[in-house]
Amino acid sequence: MSSNKPTPRKQAVSNAKTGRRHRSDAEKLKIVKESFEKGCVQAQLARRHGISTSQLWDWRARYKAGLLEDRADFSQVVVTQETPEGVQDQARSAAACPDLVIEVGQCYRFTIPAGFDMDAAARLLRGLA
């Protein structure tokens, strides 16, 4: 005869690490820059930092594409031409407004002409994100 009573179960809880480590962009950047040093053997570098060589190659490719860089919590803004007080954006002529230049990483630069519809530019840039 079998008993219909539920059998108590034990759950094993482990504090062991899974082996995956999430590195910050600053850590990745440090490793990538080290990989570009003269005489560096990438396989040894990867082993020393506990990553695979394919992971190092991926980070290097991202760095070359401008996708891996030191990131601040804010963007640097440089004023190149002061705006006269009391002038409305719509009233300014295209000659008085400089082009808007947006640099992303080391490889990409977007130049938006002064007379361009800024709402359309915002939609375009949001679509690229």
88 vs 115, more confident: 115
pLDDT at 85: 58
Q: What is the mean pLDDT of the chain?
A: 75
Q: Tokens for 72?
A: 């601040």
Question: What gap in Å lies between CA 105 and CA 108, rounded to an integer?
Answer: 6
Contact 105, 69 (CB under 8 A): yes
DSSP 69-110: ----SS------SPPPTT--TTTS-TTTSPPEEEEETTTEEE
Q: Tokens for 94?
A: 């295209």
Could you report the per-residue pLDDT of 6-23, keeping only the tens digit for each? Answer: 777 766 665 555 667 788
Query: Is 70 exceeded by the pLDDT of residue 35?
Result: yes
Could you report the per-residue pLDDT of 54-80, keeping only the tens digit for each? Answer: 999 999 998 888 787 765 455 555 666
Contact 63, 69 (CB under 8 A): yes
pLDDT at 78: 62
pLDDT at 82: 60
pLDDT at 129: 60
DSSP 4-72: -SPPP----------S--PPPHHHHHHHHHHHTSTT--HHHHHHHHT--HHHHHHHHHHHHTT-S----
